[in-house]
Amino acid sequence: MNLKAYVYDENSQDVSLLPLMPVIARMTSDEYNIMNNETFTIKKVSEEFITLTSADKDSIACMDIPTEDFTKLFHIAFCITCHKSQGETYNHPYTIHEWNKMDSRLKYVALSRATQKQFINLI
């Protein structure tokens, strides 16, 4: 499914959605019970709804987001910043880009997301 960018967000872009794509909430919404920077995975795409599952492995909850609200609420999350990753724990491999441009605090945040050091790749 192809969706147009959310016109009121300069960081939004046209997207093509497929199952298993990672997404991140761009805002908190009490209506949908999501918090800013919370991560999800697309489970199903239909004309009416985008079904998401929480990226938190301890949660098995699914939610249906109306297709017309998706770009208002979410960004695709193949790549996120260190700031957005704060508070996350990664039990899978990930790559840290531009390591040499980071100060010591950003390096700490980037490194401390992993549960095992072999999950960390530096570029």
Verify that 92 and 62 share a domain, yes or no: no
CA 85, CA 121: separation in Å to the nearest integer?
A: 15
Amino acid at 115: T
Q: What is the mean pLDDT of each run of 10 residues along the chain (123 residues)?
A: 88 90 92 89 94 73 91 90 82 91 92 92 90
Q: Provide the token pair at 78.
A: 């193949």
User: What is the number of domains present in the chain?
Assistant: 2
What pLDDT is recorded for position 70? Answer: 94
Structural domain boundaries enclosing 87: 82-122
Verify that 104 and 51 share a domain, yes or no: no
Verify that 30 and 64 share a domain, yes or no: yes
Verify that 37 and 6 share a domain, yes or no: yes
CATH of the domain at 55: 2.30.30
Verify that 70 and 93 share a domain, yes or no: no
In contact, 19 and 45? CB cutoff 8 Å: yes
Amino acid at 42: I
Choosing from 76, 97, 113, the residue where a domain stops is 76
Verify that 41 and 72 share a domain, yes or no: yes
The model's pLDDT over 62-97, given as tens digits with 9 standing for 90+, comes to 899 999 999 999 999 988 888 888 778 888 899 999
Verify that 12 and 46 share a domain, yes or no: yes
Choosing from 39, 55, 76, the residue where a domain stops is 76
Verify that 15 and 66 share a domain, yes or no: yes
